[in-house]
Structure formats: structure tokens, C-alpha cells
Structure 1
Amino acid sequence: MAKVFILVASLLFLSNIFIVRAEFSPSLIVDMARTLMDNYCSPERLVGMQEAIDTASSNTEILSIPDPNTLASVLTSGVQSTINDPRLKVTHEPDYIPAVAPQLPSLPPEQLIAVLQSSIKLDILDGNIGYLRIDHILGEEVADKIGNLLLDLVWNKILPTSALIFDMRHTISGDMSGIPYIVSYFIEAEPLIHIDSVYDRPSDTTTELWSMSTLLGERYSTTKPLIILTSKNTKGIAEDVAYSLKNLKRATIVGEKTSGGSVKIDKIKVGETDFYISVPTAKSINPITGSTWEVVGVTPDVEVNAEDALATAIKIINLRAQIPAIIEGSATLIAEKYTFESIGEHVATKLNGLLASGEYSKINSKADLETKLTADFRTLSGDKSLKTTNNTPALPPLNYSPEMFIEQIKVSFHTDVFENNIGYLRFDMFGDFEEVKAIAQIIVEHVWNKVVNTDAMVVDLRNNIGGPTTAIAGFCSYFFDADRKILLDKLYDRPSGTIKELWTLPELTGTRYGSRKSLIVLTSRTTAGAAEEFVHIMRRTGRAMIVGETTAGASHPPETFRVGETDIYLSIPTVHSDPAAGPTWEGAGIVPHFPVPADEAIDTAKRIFNKHITGQK
């Protein structure tokens, strides 16, 4: 009530600041307020209006704004800001003639065809994509009268297309009865669907709009892509059609946010004056969302400038046409290449099921497709390493000088010697064997020799994210003796169906640490891939104590596969440790002997070693 009272009082006050002689009846504001009270579509927002009318009626001041158009502008600003509805508008139109709904002219068939062809734009684009632009939504009655012509000239040409782009970027008018008429052509005949509810304030009635079981002509397939183009000029009934089909999940909206109009706006004369107020007299409430597109507009699924909407829609449709082959190709690759055969077959079967159920029918971009595929792979397999990837070519090897290698190694490795001659070695990624082999002597001189003569060692892999596993056997060998060959692990390669055995190497660059000195490996949830394989070997062979957090449960380095001839690539783990020797770490991670938070792991390792060394003395 207070806001409405302030509105009326402030408008009366504004009228008194003008001292010219032009006069308007003091009943103007009262009549305007009563018009809103009787016709505005959301009466709950007008609480207190009656009290404000009574207050205004008792005020004898005369409105004296000199120009009626200025007064109309002031009234518009006051009403819009108070009720917070930009659709309300006051105008001064002494020559206004109420618009009469256009009637379909009685024209001979050839002229009627010409009228329809000029008002409806139809095209069949490359790829058998239908394009239909209609700037006025016909009502059911008119559509029925010219239905046969519409079928012959428009609809029967659209039906055979593989997808449809419905252009409503310029649609600013329409008849409410056209909403269920249009929507019904894109959904099943049964069961009937509640599309919209429209409340009409003057009559205080609500009309439910339902889909139609019987239509002239055939329905468009419910599975073929339907894209609606919108702009900031898309208004009223067109917004309702777009909003309904969007929330029925039948159409994808591409373009700009719509204007936020109304299903019905009436221009009502204010009393006996030449002032008129445009009032939304009806409102739409969508039964699915419980909300409305009015005032706020319809937000597109893919927001682009209106002039780019058509090209964007074509890209979406072309992508969707490729999706079945992409999903089927991905399923085949995973079934044939994924390291755990039963899981690969499960993922493949489920992927094809998701495709058949329409789970991929609303993809709008390659990025959307890759995101969904990766999420589905992870859900179905439980493997974070099974995902889409970029086919980024490997960088050529850098031509480092020995000095540059030394500086790089200093940055990549961290060493220290703690109390009681406890060595500390940290590195955060494994390198390829051939690359490491080429600089092995430099690593030994500037890293390994700093810790090799310690009495115990902490190997810190808490931040090690993996890398190639080709150097694993060599690194492990430093912690075993040369006189005994140790089987470190067996790796099963799914594509070839072969098992590769990892053995300690008989010859190494530099001095071995050997098998007798104590070793603790630190882990965290970040420890992944090749680092996990090292931890797995050290734990399984009993060579090291593991302290920290359960590792990431990643995989051996995956391989990259192209899906058919598309630009979609999959990262697929193809190798896993032989489960015959015990539980594998892939997917599950490695549980430490001493579970502690990662940031406490190094202190825990020091305490263990110090206690052990002190006990020996």
C-alpha cells in the first residue's frame, strides 16, 4: 500500500511544480488507477491501490503539466517503477482509433497463395535442413480456413526434412489459439499435454491450453532436431511458443533473449480523456516451470547475436547428425581397447543405450559433447582416465645444452639430508625412459649422488602426477641389489592381448641404493599414474613403507584414439597391472601403510625413521 500511495502522491506533487495554465482533470490519476485495478493481470501486485485511489480522490489540486505527452511520460515512469512492470505505458493520443483484428481477405486462390508466400518464408537448406520464418502466429480458426493451402505450400515441404529451423526473430504478433496449434505439430498425439495456463484479469478466468490430438496433416517427428531462432524483438505469442517447446524439451532456442512481452496487452482509454494506458490484461503460467517468460523474456539455450543465430543453428544440426556415429564409434573403441574387457563391454552397451534413449539429442556444441561423453565414461566405468581428449601433437624435443639440462634438473628435483642422515628426494613427474637415459649421468651427478649415501630415504611423490611408465623399471632397480633379478610387475596390454614383465635392470648409471636401507614413500590423493605404479611395486614387493593418503586411482598412461573420421579423440587406458599378483591400483588407488593427511606425511616419516634409528643405537 505504501508504495502505491507514494506513487499517487508523488504524481500529484509533480503536477504542482508547473505553473502554466494547461489543465487536466484531477480524476485522470484516479481513473488510471482504477483501470489498473480492474484490468492488470497480477492483482496481487496492486495491494493498497484502493486506498491510494481514495487519497487521490480527496486531493483537489489540478494537474498542470503543460504538455500532455510530458504528463504521459511522467505517469508511465511512475507506474512502471512502482509496479515494476515495463510493459505498462501511458500515452496521449487524441486521434487514436482502436485497432481491429485483421480479417483474412476473401481472395481468389491465386491471390491468397501470393499473400501466404509473401508472409511465410520457406527454404530447404543444405543437408536437408528445413527453414521456416513466420512473423505472425496465426490463430487456430484462421489456420483451419487456409489449412489445405498451408499444407500444400508449406508443411508438406517441411515434413521430409531431417531437421527444422523455426525463425521467430521477427515475430512480434500472434493469436493465443495458435500456441497449442503450433506446439502440437512437434509432439506426440497422445497423451495430451498441458502446454500453458493463461489467466485473464478482466473476466477473472483461467484458460488451460492443451495439445491437440487431431491436426490437419502429419506431425513433425518428435526426434528430428527443432531449433527456434529468437531475438530481442521476439515478442508475445512467439515467446510463449518458444518457452513451451523449450520446457517440453522439444526445441533448442538459439539467439538473443526475447523481449519479455505478454500474451495480451490492451490499450484502454482513461476515463473521458485522450489518455490511454497499455495494460497486460492476461498472464501466462507454464505448468512445467510454474513460472513465466513475461517481463523477463525467454533465455536461449545457446545465446548468440541474432544475426549469427541461423549459422549457429546449422552448426548445431550438423553436429547432431554426426553424434550417432560418434557414440557408436566411441563404444566400439572402448569395447575393443579398454584395459579391463568386462568394463569396456559394459560401457559400450550402456553408451549405445543412452544414444537410443535420446540422451545425446540436445547436444549443442562439440564442447558439450566432449563434456557429456567424459562424464558418462566416468560414471559407467569409474575410471577418471577414460575421457575425451585433444589430439595435441607432441612438442619436438628441445635442444638443451648441458648447462640448461643442469638448471632444468635443479628445478625438477628437490633433495635434502635430514637429521640422522635421512635422505629426501622429491620429483613431481616421471620422464620417458629414452629421455631420462640420455641425461642419466647428469641426474646422477646433480641429484642422486646427494642422497645415495644416506642411511634411509624418503621419496616424496605427494605431488607426482605420473607420466610415462617406461622409466619405472629403471628407477625401481636403484632400490634393489644387482646380484638378484626381481620381477617387479606384470602388465597386461589389452589391444595386443599380451603380458609384459617388468624386471629389475642389471646395469644402472651410478650407484644403487640397494635393498637393505630403509625406504619410505610419501603419497597423496594427487599421486597418480606412473607414480602409483612405482608405489604399487614398492608396496607389493615389501621394499618400502607407504605413508600419506590413498593415491588417485588413475591408470597407466592411456593411449589416444580417433573416433572414426571425426575430430573427437578418446583417451583410453589400455594397460593394467596383472591382478594375479594381488589387487591392482587402477581405479582404486593404493592404501598407505600409515594413513595420514598429506601435509603431515613428511613429519610422520621423520618420526618413524628417527625412532627406528634411535632404537638401533
Structure 2
Amino acid sequence: MNPEEIQAVLRALAAVVAEHYVFPEVGAEVAARLIGAAESGRYDELGTPERLSEVVTADLQLGNNDLHLRLMFHPGEVPDEEDPAAEEAYWLRRAELDAGGVGRIERLDGNIGLLELRPLLYDPAHAGAAMTAALSMVATTDALLIDLRRCVGGSPEQVALVCGHLFGPEPVHLNDLVTPSDGTVRQYWTTPSVGAPRFGATKPIWVLTSASTFSGGEELSYDLQQLGRAVIVGERTRGGAHPRRGFKLHSHLEATVPVQRAMNPISGTNWEGTGVAPDIEVPAADAFTVAYRRALEHVLTLSSDPDRRSVTDEARAVLGAAVVAG
């Protein structure tokens, strides 16, 4: 990139931050600081989009620590938000390549479900069928492990879809998104019908987290924790609660600008800057072992009628040996 291209990107970035950032006063300050740095020549010699993204992102987050506020480098072509058909095709292709965000699904010994969701909780329009199918497959297990250690974002609509399978038919209020620019509040609830068997509201759930768990992965963790529906096992998450919007500034550079803030109906706040604190804090590498052991202990409390005997025997056998980490 030559200095003229870099200056054009910086002017466009400052404009979208000033206009759209979730906290207008902060957005104006960040934009002014960015323009001042650009005019001083701070970025002129960076040369490549990738290097520019690294330096500018650090400057954008200076003081506010908002990890969603970024100049993001894309090795391929950035989807254009002003071309809905192209953007739709981009996200559909990404969801297809990632199996709808379902990284792993398994029935573990003891009739315990394991559902790993990564890298993103894709919008239901792109991955709802895949997610529903995965959740249906674990619906009849006696306990569930949801692995979000490598889940780094996603759609609040997909969070609501997942949660719909983990409660009963009565609607449950999960989260609100507040848009400061117009004062609107969008509420997210589970739905009475999910079109498939539910795991339900009573069987235990353990959610595995890491220091990499971010954004949509954090919302799913936080919503379930606040509602007392799951036990969080692992590490404190990264702390990004401001949903963002993407703006194409260059063929390989996208501005990601937070435009809303989450407000949980129970806590009255969110996990921005603090992350989701685990209920059981262990290194991420140990989270599976700890959660699986607790799930096996739960299975052994269930009725030992003849139809269940093989399941409890599996649980005893695994607890009698070392639990193998996933």
C-alpha cells in the first residue's frame, strides 16, 4: 500500500468510528486521535494491509480496550456490506466450510453428550439446520458438555436457537441488545417450538471455556450462567460484549465497529472488559476432564433399572480409570 491508499483507509475508518461507535463520545475521541496520527505520518511506511491492521487496531483499542473495535485484515476479498447478495454468499460459504459451526458431536461413555461449537455461532439463516440437527442428536443424553473453548464469536439469534433446546417450551428471556444511536432495545427469548427434540430444562450442562472464548461464545456462556442453567468450567473469557458491524474499507481491510451493547435481564450488565468468570476455574486444557468427571458422577446417581444398567456400568468403568481429556 502506498501512503495515499493508507491515508484514504484511515479517513474512512475514522468516519465510520465517529458515526457508528456504540459510545458516541468515545467514538469521536478515537476518530480524532486516529486522524491526528494519520496526518503525522504514523502509518505511511507500514506498507502492507496486514501490518497496517495490526498497528491501527492497537491504536483503536488504546484506552477503551474494546476488542471488537478493529481494523481487520482478510487474506481474501472482504465481503461488501453494501452488496447483500455477495455478503450472504460469503457467510453461507463460511458456514458450509465449518459444518455450521459444529466442530464435534459425540456420545461419550455414560450417555453424556459432547457438543463442540467453533469457530463461530453462525446465523440461523446460514447454519440453523446444522445446529438443530446437532442439538437433536444429544437431546436424549443424560448430561451435556458444550465446548466453547475455541468459539470466538457469532450471532445472538444462533445463541437463542441453541438455548431454545436447553430449556422447556415456556419462553425464557436471554439477553437484550441496546442501540444507543436510536435508543431501541431488542430482546432475545427462547421460542416455544424448536422443531426438534429438546435436551430440556432439567438435565445438567457443563460449558467449557478458555481465554480465547469471545463474543457470541461468551454470550452463550453468560446467558446460561446467569439463568443458572449451566456450570462454567475453564478459564475467564476474553471480554467482548459489544456486537459489531463490518465496513469494507479496502479489498483486504474491514473496519469492525461495535454498534450495540448487551444488557442481561438478570445482571443488568454484561461481560464487556471482564469476561465470563468460570464457576470452576481450571486451565482450559483440563476443563474437559473436570466437567466429564462431574457428568459421570451425575449419571451414577440415576436409576439403575435394567434399561439403564449398561449406561451406569459405562460411567463406573470410566470413573474407575483415568478420564481421557478431549
1:347 alignment counterpart: 30
1:241-264: CA deviations, max 9, x gaps? xxxxxxxxxxxxxxxxxxxxxxxx
Read off the aligned partner of 2:33 and give its amino acid letter.
Answer: K
Q: How does 1:132-281 map to 2 (within 5 A)?
A: none
Q: Would you say 1:575 and 2:260 are equivalent positions?
A: yes
Q: Distance in 2 between matches of 1:543 and 1:534?
A: 11
Q: How does 1:43-82 map to 2 (within 5 A)?
A: none
Q: Would you say 1:421 and 2:111 are equivalent positions?
A: yes
Unaligned runs of 5+ in 2: 80-86, 304-326
Q: Distance in 2 between matches of 1:547 and 1:361?
A: 42
1:335 alignment partner, one of 9, 18, 42: 18
Query: What secondary structure does 1:502 align onto?
Result: strand
Paired residues of 1:430 and 1:531 also in contact (CA < 8 A): yes
1:603 alignment counterpart: 289
2:311 alignment counterpart: none
Q: Which has the larger radius of gyration?
A: 1
The higher-RCO structure (CA 8 Å, 6+ apart) is 2
**Alpha-carbon distance, 1:354 to partner:** 3.8
2:276 alignment counterpart: 590
2:55 alignment partner, one of 329, 350, 372: 372
2:202 alignment counterpart: 516
**Alpha-carbon distance, 1:363 to partner:** 3.3
Query: What secondary structure does 2:140 align onto?
Result: coil
**Alpha-carbon distance, 1:598 to partner:** 0.9
1:385 alignment counterpart: 68
**Alpha-carbon distance, 1:605 to partner:** 0.6
Q: Distance in 1 between matches of 2:3 and 2:286?
A: 53
Q: Would you say 1:396 and 2:89 are equivalent positions?
A: yes
Read off the aligned partner of 1:375 and give its amino acid letter.
Answer: A
Read off the aligned partner of 1:578 and give its amino acid letter.
Answer: M
2:125 alignment counterpart: 434
1:333–1:497 Cα change, 3 Å: farther
Unaligned runs of 5+ in 1: 1-314
Q: Distance in 2 between matches of 1:505 and 1:362?
A: 51
Paired residues of 2:101 and 2:121 also in contact (CA < 8 A): no
2:83 alignment counterpart: none
Read off the aligned partner of 2:236 and give its amino acid letter.
Answer: T
Structure 2 length normalisation: TM-score?
0.75
Paired residues of 1:462 and 1:524 also in contact (CA < 8 A): yes
1:73-127: CA deviations, max 9, x gaps? xxxxxxxxxxxxxxxxxxxxxxxxxxxxxxxxxxxxxxxxxxxxxxxxxxxxxxx
**Alpha-carbon distance, 1:495 to partner:** 4.5
1:433–1:594 Cα change, 3 Å: same
Paired residues of 1:347 and 1:380 also in contact (CA < 8 A): no
Q: Distance in 2 between matches of 1:592 and 1:431?
A: 24
Paired residues of 2:101 and 2:117 also in contact (CA < 8 A): no
Read off the aligned partner of 1:360 and give its amino acid letter.
Answer: R
Q: Give the length in aligned residue pairs.
A: 288
**Alpha-carbon distance, 1:616 to partner:** 6.5
Paired residues of 1:547 and 1:605 also in contact (CA < 8 A): yes
1:414–1:588 Cα change, 3 Å: same
Q: Distance in 1 between matches of 2:53 and 2:90?
A: 30
Query: What secondary structure does 1:588 align onto?
Result: coil
1:468 alignment counterpart: 155
Read off the aligned partner of 2:198 and give its amino acid letter.
Answer: R
**Alpha-carbon distance, 1:344 to partner:** 2.5
Structure 1 length normalisation: TM-score?
0.42
Paired residues of 2:142 and 2:299 also in contact (CA < 8 A): no
1:293-336: CA deviations, max 9, x gaps? xxxxxxxxxxxxxxxxxxxxxx84545xx73x654543342233
1:551 alignment counterpart: 237
**Alpha-carbon distance, 1:421 to partner:** 2.6
Paired residues of 1:478 and 1:512 also in contact (CA < 8 A): yes
Q: How does 1:297-312 map to 2 (within 5 A)?
A: none
Q: Distance in 2 between matches of 1:544 and 1:567?
A: 39
2:187 alignment counterpart: 501
Read off the aligned partner of 1:475 and give its amino acid letter.
Answer: V
Q: Distance in 2 between matches of 1:327 and 1:409?
A: 36
1:363 alignment counterpart: 45
602-611 or 328-337, larger mean C-alpha shift: 328-337
Q: Percent identity?
A: 27
1:178-223: CA deviations, max 9, x gaps? xxxxxxxxxxxxxxxxxxxxxxxxxxxxxxxxxxxxxxxxxxxxxx
1:537 alignment partner, one of 223, 239, 245: 223
Read off the aligned partner of 1:376 and give its amino acid letter.
Answer: D
RMSD of Structure 2 on Structure 1 (CA): 3.4
**Alpha-carbon distance, 1:509 to partner:** 1.8
**Alpha-carbon distance, 1:594 to partner:** 0.5
1:487–1:342 Cα change, 3 Å: farther
Q: Distance in 1 between matches of 2:260 and 2:101?
A: 31
1:463–1:398 Cα change, 3 Å: closer
Q: How does 1:18-29 map to 2 (within 5 A)?
A: none
Read off the aligned partner of 1:416 and give its amino acid letter.
Answer: E
Query: What secondary structure does 1:532 align onto?
Result: helix
Read off the aligned partner of 2:71 and give its amino acid letter.
Answer: T
**Alpha-carbon distance, 1:518 to partner:** 0.8
1:326–1:584 Cα change, 3 Å: same
